[in-house]
């Protein structure tokens, strides 16, 4: 329980504004169990920062989040080198192609592009998931020092997302070993039921910089020849990205 109450509350107000898709002081006050006047001060302050805009008494989150988010995304080196390759691969395969990185022990989707056959699975740029519940995250884990992997599991835990999620520490360790020797990871129904993912780790100078992956319906992933076709395409793209990353833009 570290920190400043007012700042934490300000971000709580932001969460509520998101949840309610815009609200006035009264709604915020009811939702957060604080006086109306207090809610009003928070809203006014947030408006002065530009992260909230008001029209006729109702306050909404502004696009300052999108602005900052885009800039943070664009500043990322691995994004810069792979942002053109991802949509290309999406078009080639027709599936949803993603770029995932690790941040604070979690998997963050830095980019998401969809092809013709793509299904909407609620994957979007900025989405943060556990590392152990999908192929992309696991390829990253497979390339991190085992000391770091333990650290991450210690702080984040291994809570099941679906019935298929790995919850056993030892089984995860074994699977990471398999992924390390295979050079890619595959699984299905572990994060979202009905969704399968395939991924390869982006490794530059023995350091994981992220992972590129494909997400599609479970049935398509289960088809081995199709799966290997995707793996090969991921490997090709991966090589392009790795070289670009190493030897400049």
Partner DNA sequence: CCGAACCGTCCAAAATAGTCGAACAGCTTA
Partner DNA sequence: TAAGCTGTTCGACTATTTTGGACGGTTCGG
The residues of the shown chain that bind its own copies, judged by CB under 8 A, are 2-4, 6-8, 10-11, 14, 18, 21, 41-42, 44-46, 48-49, 51, 53, 55, 61-75, 103-104, 108, 110, 124-128
Q: Binding residues for DNA, per CB under 7 A?
A: 3-7, 9, 23-27, 34-38, 40-44, 54, 57-58
Cα 122 from Cα 114, distance rounded (Å): 12
Q: Which is nearer to its own copies, 72 or 228 (CB)?
A: 72
Q: Which is nearer to DNA, 4 or 104 (CB)?
A: 4
Q: How far is the CB of 225 from its own copies (least distance, A)?
A: 30
| Interacting partner of 71 out of DNA, its own copies, none (Cβ under 5 to 8 A depending on kind) | its own copies
Q: Which is nearer to its own copies, 30 or 124 (CB)?
A: 124
User: Which residues lie closer than 8 Å to 77 by C-beta, 6 or more apart?
Assistant: 209, 245
Q: How far is the CB of 144 from its own copies (least distance, A)?
A: 13
Contact predicate 158/167, CB 8 Å: yes
| Interacting partner of 124 out of DNA, its own copies, none (Cβ under 5 to 8 A depending on kind) | its own copies
Cα 102 from Cα 80, distance rounded (Å): 16
How far lies 198's CA from each of 30, 48, 86, 126, 202, in Å?
A: 45, 44, 14, 19, 13
| Interacting partner of 19 out of its own copies, DNA, none (Cβ under 5 to 8 A depending on kind) | none
Task: Determine the 3-state secondary structure of 58 from DSSP.
Answer: strand
CA-based nearest residue to 165, from 101, 245, 157, 109: 157
DSSP 169-227: HHHHHHHHHHHHHHS-EEEESSSSTTEEEEEEEEEETTEEEEEEEEEEEHHHHH-HHHH
| Interacting partner of 70 out of its own copies, DNA, none (Cβ under 5 to 8 A depending on kind) | its own copies
Contact predicate 208/102, CB 8 Å: yes
Q: Which is nearer to its own copies, 2 or 181 (CB)?
A: 2
Q: Which is nearer to DNA, 60 or 220 (CB)?
A: 60
Q: Which is nearer to DNA, 13 or 231 (CB)?
A: 13
Helix (H) or strand (E) holding 229: helix 224-246
| Interacting partner of 40 out of DNA, its own copies, none (Cβ under 5 to 8 A depending on kind) | DNA
| Interacting partner of 57 out of DNA, its own copies, none (Cβ under 5 to 8 A depending on kind) | DNA
**CB atoms inside a 10 Å sphere around CB 103:** 10
């Amino acid at each position: 329980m570290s920190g400043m109450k007012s700042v934490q509350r300000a971000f709580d107000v932001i969460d509520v504004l998101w949840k309610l898709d815009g609200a006035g002081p009264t709604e915020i006050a009811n939702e957060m169990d604080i006086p109306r006047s207090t809610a009003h001060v928070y809203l006014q302050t947030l408006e002065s920062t530009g992260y909230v805009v008001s029209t006729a008494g109702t306050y909404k989150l502004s696009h300052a989040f999108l602005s900052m988010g885009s800039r943070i995304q664009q500043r990322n080196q691995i994004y810069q080198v792979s942002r053109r390759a991802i949509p290309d691969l999406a078009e080639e395969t027709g599936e949803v192609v993603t770029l995932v990185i690790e941040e604070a022990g979690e998997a963050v989707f830095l980019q998401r592009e969809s092809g013709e056959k793509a299904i909407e699975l609620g994957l979007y740029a900025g989405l943060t998931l556990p590392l152990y519940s999908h192929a992309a995250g696991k390829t990253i884990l497979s390339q991190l020092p085992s000391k770091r992997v333990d650290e991450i599991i210690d702080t984040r835990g291994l809570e099941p997302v679906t019935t298929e999620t790995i919850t056993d520490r030892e089984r995860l360790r074994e699977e990471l070993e398999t992924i390390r020797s295979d050079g890619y990871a595959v699984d299905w129904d572990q994060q979202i039921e009905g969704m399968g993912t395939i991924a390869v780790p982006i490794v530059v100078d023995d350091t994981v910089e992220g992972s590129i992956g494909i997400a599609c319906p479970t049935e398509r992933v289960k088809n081995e020849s199709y799966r290997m076709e995707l793996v090969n395409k991921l490997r090709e793209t991966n090589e392009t990205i790795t070289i670009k990353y190493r030897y400049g833009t």
